[in-house]
Chains A and B, each alone.
Chain A
Amino acid sequence: MESKTFALACPAPLPEEETVQLAHGGGGRMMHQLIERLFLEAFHHDALGGRHDGAVLDLDGGRLAFTTDSYVVRPIFFPGGDIGTLAVNGTVNDLAMCGARPLYLSAGFILEEGLPMESLRRVVASMRQAAEAAGVRLVTGDTKVVDKGKGDQVFINTAGIGRIDSGVEIHPRRVRPGDRVLVSGDIARHGMAVMAVREGLGFESAIESDCAPLARPVLALLDSGIDVHCLRDLTRGGLASALVEIAESSGLGIAVEESAIPVRHDVRAACELLGFDPIYVASEGRFVAFVPPSQVDKALAAITEHSGGAEARVIGEVTAEPPAVVTMASLIGGKRVVDMLSGEQLPRIC
């Protein structure tokens, strides 16, 4: 059938990873599998059962949201922010995604020997500014210094607590068929901003990060009486991962329109150039909200008014079928499945 010079053959399979890979922290499938199979397995607990952007804890009748996040970014300064802004906003945003009013933060610094003191001062000043803007107080902290070469300038961990008002119930299990999916502004800016600086890509215009605190727009939603069913901020893994997570944990379908997803012109061009799909690129100041159809206009207005310039839009809706799957109507009208990436997006060859 086949001549010898044209034989069919194929390569050996890739074995299970024996070492931690970068993709284990990339926000895609591999990271989720690591969390599922290692961490959740080891730390099984009731408070962990309602998994979320943070834990929701009952304390003497009141409810607290508790969350933590570590920040490693290269370069530590990028257009639109720095590691300090990220460290405060990221944790504030995780609290906001639980429907909580952010109250207090802790900060742990791991500093690399030789880091210019001026850099550290700038980072700390950014943190103070971001905390003031978000209305949280930084109340405890820790500092460690590691040998030169054993860290990457500065790593920051922040943990935060916030209070959840009674009646607020934000969780994927509350998502219902018919809910509209809102995104709070244009996506994928943070990821491309950092990438452009890190990789020295000389784009004509500087893309600045969208890093911003989300507590205000979220509280505006809640305070205006909107029955918000679920919230998720768009970080690593981007819009796609956030939607897939919610579809899978609610067991419902989510249908989105590609043409409705706001992506800024220069960000889209940069993504095209590198072969990236913007729905997988990180934002640091954007979220999706699931709200009942009757409250869509009010919700859009509340988010837009408090988002500092970003414009909220409806990008899709929740469906009963197909269960646990995100589908997207392409610009051309064809339909496709949206899945998480297995690892990180890698720039293509040509």
Chain B
Amino acid sequence: MRFMDEYRDAGAARRYAEAIARAVTRPWTIMEVCGGQTHAIVRFGLDRLLPPDVTLVHGPGCPVCVTPVEYIDKAIEIASLPQVVFCSFGDMLRVPGTSGSLLSAKAAGADVRIVYSPLDALALARANPAKEVVFFAVGFETTAPANAMAAYRAKREGLQNFSMLVSHVLVPPALEAILTGPENGIQGILAAGHVCTIMGFEEYEPIARRHSVPIVVTGFEPLDILQGVYMCVRQLESGQAEVENQYSRSVRREGNRPAQEIIGEVFRVIRRRWRGIGEIPQSGLGLSEAYAGFDAERRFGAVAPADEASSECMSGLVLKGLKKPSDCPHFGRRCTPEHPLGATMVSSEGACAAYYRYRKAETAPSGEPMRSNCKNEV
């Protein structure tokens, strides 16, 4: 398929891996920020093409994983109200809250709908004037413009029965937090191509300078990632720390200005808690005063900050690139996608889920083999 096959060419991948191996003279640790990149790395086995001196660690860029537990709880609480139609992107549904998930709320009778765009939620609000339609607005800068557009249109149309539960997060403050962390060992960064398509990469330049880390804006296909690693390694080897753009077929330095404008109109920057990581100042988006009327927290009560009791789950360390999923003693044993201890095992973009799905047999003892060879017949 065009625009896909050419970025998955085995010969070109091998040549990139060889070029990286030639360029490397000592060990380097590079973090890929986005869960989509993590997924591609594990799915295609890209890390195994790299020389042993290059270590890829997985970053915090999984929107499902970092949405705080109290927002999941609030979502379930709102969704369970009889007059509410609760709309969410699909992969939020399985994420565990304090007790249960949106999926189990749905099974218990809540009207929870999967939507593909926030504008679908808007259409539901128009079609069901007697219902309160609530959209779960989560994600990084990538989903922010479309979510902003939903609120913008709702305001212009005067839709009274639409609101959003907002838990948006921003990449650069999280990178700052990780790079200033006391245990940080990250020397280079592959920034998330889709986020930068919206925001551009000017805001990464001071981060690269301040922390002396090269940052390469990188795409999501196998060759994108290998080229990103190559560009990053070349900078590291030559002592540079600049922002480079591998994903130039999508990203411009200034980003997408109209998208930024709608984000600026509808949202304002606020502090946010990140699940597994903690509170980071100026790291999220909330609705601006002009759009506060569409804030589900105003209609259904504010989200109370929950005390995330520390548990056996170490997803915080995974999200900060300090541990790999397979380092966890519970991985594949007590913690599986059916019974996750943390959100990184749930989301399709979570690092633990990617390791489980593609490497389970190597990284954990397989459970009791299932004897069934039946489909659904009994």
Q: Nearest Cβ distance between residue B3 and chain A, in whole angstroms? A: 9
Q: Secondary structure of the B side of the interface?
A: loop
Q: If A13-B341, A339-B357 touch, does A35 touch B348 (CB 8 Å cutoff)?
A: no
Contact, CB under 8 Å: A334 / B46: yes
Docked complex Cα distance between A75 and B372 (Å): 31
Docked complex Cα distance between A13 and B310 (Å): 12
9-residue interface stretch from A117-125, A136-144, A148-156, A265-273 = A265-273
From residue 229 to 277 of chain A, which have CB atoms closer than 8 A to chain B?
A: 232, 235-236, 245-246, 248-251, 265, 268-269, 272, 274-275
- Chain B residue at minimal CB-CB distance from A201: B116
> Which chain A positions have C-beta within 8 A of B139?
349-350
> Which chain A positions have C-beta within 8 A of B340?
13-14
**Chain A, interface residues (CB within 8 Å), range:** 35 or more
> Which chain B positions have C-beta within 8 A of A6?
177, 181, 277-280
Contact, CB under 8 Å: A15 / B370: no
Docked complex Cα distance between A165 and B182 (Å): 71
Is B228 part of the binding interface, using a Cβ–Cβ cutoff of 8 Å?
no
Of the listed residues A5, A23, A348, the one surrounded by the most CB atoms of chain B closer than 10 A to its CB is A348
Contact, CB under 8 Å: B194 / A324: no
- Chain A residue at minimal CB-CB distance from B68: A11
> Which chain A positions have C-beta within 8 A of B357?
337, 339
Q: Nearest Cβ distance between residue A294 and chain B, in whole angstroms? A: 25
Is B94 part of the binding interface, using a Cβ–Cβ cutoff of 8 Å?
yes
Q: Nearest Cβ distance between residue A159 and chain B, in whole angstroms? A: 10
Q: Nearest Cβ distance between residue B249 and chain A, in whole angstroms? A: 16
Is A331 part of the binding interface, using a Cβ–Cβ cutoff of 8 Å?
yes
Contact, CB under 8 Å: A33 / B338: yes
Is A30 part of the binding interface, using a Cβ–Cβ cutoff of 8 Å?
yes
Q: Hey, what's the 0/1 contact readout for B91-103 against A, CB within 8 Å counting as 1?
A: 1111011111101
Contact, CB under 8 Å: A10 / B89: no
9-residue interface stretch from A48-56, A78-86, A103-111, A309-317 = A48-56
Contact, CB under 8 Å: B45 / A10: no
9-residue interface stretch from B127-135, B209-217, B233-241, B360-368 = B360-368
9-residue interface stretch from A36-44, A182-190, A207-215 = A36-44
Is B8 part of the binding interface, using a Cβ–Cβ cutoff of 8 Å?
yes
B residues near A (Cβ < 8 Å) are 1, 4, 8, 10, 13-14, 36, 42-46, 48-49, 63-64, 69, 89-94, 96-101, 103-104, 106-108, 114, 116, 138-140, 142-143, 177, 181-183, 194, 222, 275-281, 308-311, 313-317, 336-343, 347-349, 356-362, 366, 369-378
